């Protein structure tokens, strides 16, 4: 799928981006693989692992998604864009709202314009469960970005650029996830959780990367892809990491949901179920009316369906979580 292609990853020095680069290098033979990010130190460190001398296809571009001119230069000759750049810390977003809007919303708009002008074939953007019925600014910016990417298929019109979205929740073990926090707190003998009944979906970095690459193969433009994942209780996760430690409840933080929702009931009307995923198709499709029509072969979802971490059929036990934690440490 990516052999002899030019692939660019925005936010390529992040946890997801580095894992994606590693996977592409070992599973495909891209003509070029471009890391686009604004952090020169992280790029320098990444070069030590994925150096252009060892991997001649590697390229490193310093740039910010807020800078449309730089994106236009970076996207020249690119076939596939995986858009992972974002400001995503919920509390940071509330304190710095304009900065988050500039990156997550205006940055998405810049990517759309630059990709269409450069004739990129496919853009797949990473979303978040927090974009589903958002209750914080970060989620609202991701919802807005999602809407922009879906509508961008209309702007592209008869040009070849097509835009799709992948939506999943917290990635276990990535920077900012609760697992590193619990491991660090274990040393003190006390772990803090916000609520004993709080639930989340479980997805690892490897699973997230594999799913995005799989969705690249399925994408026709306008889809929101959601993986089928197991659920867990945060309390069980804390117990699996530090069974001997005291667990202290500190209360739900502002902007935090009790349960992760990836398909609200309203969006379920446009969704289809497949063996390994759900796909939400665009409600308003002004481009290529028959382009997506043949792909909606999945099963329609029942009335009032909602894909939430608390109503899942697949749950991880404390024992399951312990084994998974051992694998990602």
pLDDT in tens, the chain (329 residues): 999 999 999 999 999 999 999 999 999 999 999 999 999 999 999 999 999 999 999 999 999 999 999 999 999 999 999 999 999 999 899 999 999 999 999 999 999 999 999 999 999 999 999 999 999 999 999 999 999 999 999 988 777 899 999 999 888 867 667 888 899 999 999 999 999 999 999 999 999 999 999 999 999 999 999 999 999 999 999 999 999 999 999 999 888 899 999 999 999 999 999 999 999 999 877 766 444 444 568 999 999 999 999 999 999 999 999 998 887 66
Model pLDDT, residue 170: 82
Residue 92, CA distances (Å) to 84, 95, 175, 178, 193 in order: 18, 5, 14, 16, 20
HEC states along 276-308? Answer: CEEEECCCCCCCCCCCCHHHCCCEECCCCCCEE
Buried b (16+ CB within 10 A) or exposed e, 251-277: eeeebebbbbbbbbeebbebbbbeeeb
Model pLDDT, residue 288: 61
In the chain, which ranges are continuous DSSP H helix?
15-27, 40-49, 68-74, 90-95, 97-101, 107-118, 137-156, 178-186, 205-218, 234-241, 265-268, 318-328
Alpha-carbon dihedral 137, 140, 145, 147, rounded to 10 degrees = -170
> What global pTM score does this model have?
0.94
d(CA 89, CA 87) in angstroms, rounded, equals 6
Active site residue 130: yes
**140 close to 134: Cβ distance less than 8 angstroms:** yes
Model pLDDT, residue 295: 55
Model pLDDT, residue 326: 82
**113 close to 161: Cβ distance less than 8 angstroms:** no
Model pLDDT, residue 139: 96
d(CA 173, CA 123) in angstroms, rounded, equals 26
- The helices-and-strands tally (H runs, E runs) of the chain is 12, 16
Q: How many CB atoms lie within 10 A of CB 54?
A: 10
Query: Of 248, 232, 259, 237, which is closest to residue 194 (Cα–Cα)?
Result: 248
Model pLDDT, residue 293: 46
Domains of the chain (ranges, CATH numbers): 6-169+203-229+262-308 (3.40.50.720)
Model pLDDT, residue 176: 67
d(CA 130, CA 140) in angstroms, rounded, equals 8
Catalytic residue among 130, 142, 233, 257: 130
């Amino acid at each position: 799928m990516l052999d002899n292609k030019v692939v660019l990853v925005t936010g390529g020095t992040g946890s997801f981006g580095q894992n994606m680069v590693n996977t592409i290098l070992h599973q495909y033979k891209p003509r070029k693989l471009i890391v686009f990010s604004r952090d020169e130190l992280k790029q320098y460190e990444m070069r030590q692992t994925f150096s252009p001398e060892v991997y001649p296809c590697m390229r490193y571009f310093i740039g910010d998604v807020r800078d449309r001119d730089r994106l236009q230069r970076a996207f020249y000759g690119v076939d596939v864009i995986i858009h992972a750049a974002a400001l995503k810390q919920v509390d940071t977003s509330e304190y710095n709202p304009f900065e988050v809007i500039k990156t997550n919303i205006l940055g998405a708009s810049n990517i759309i314009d630059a990709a269409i002008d450069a004739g990129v074939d496919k853009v797949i953007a990473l979303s978040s469960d927090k974009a589903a019925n958002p209750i914080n600014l970060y989620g609202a910016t991701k919802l807005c970005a999602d809407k922009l990417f879906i509508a961008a298929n209309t702007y592209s019109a008869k040009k070849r650029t097509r835009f799709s979205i992948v939506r999943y929740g917290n990635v276990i073990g990535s920077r900012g996830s609760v697992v590193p926090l619990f491991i660090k707190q274990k040393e003190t003998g006390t772990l803090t959780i916000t609520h004993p009944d709080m639930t989340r979906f479980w997805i690892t970095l490897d699973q997230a990367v594999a799913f995005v690459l799989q969705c690249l193969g399925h994408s026709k433009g306008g889809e929101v892809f959601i993986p089928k994942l197991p659920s867990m209780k945060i309390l069980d996760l804390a117990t699996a990491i530090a069974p001997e430690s005291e667990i202290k409840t500190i209360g739900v933080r502002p902007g935090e949901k009790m349960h992760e929702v990836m398909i609200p009931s309203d969006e379920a009307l446009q969704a289809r179920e497949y063996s390994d995923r759900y796909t939400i198709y665009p409600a308003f499709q002004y481009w290529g009316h028959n382009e997506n029509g043949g792909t909606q072969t999945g099963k329609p979802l029942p009335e009032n369906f909602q894909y939430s971490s608390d109503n899942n059929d697949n749950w991880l036990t404390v024992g399951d979580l312990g084994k998974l934690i051992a694998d990602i440490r």
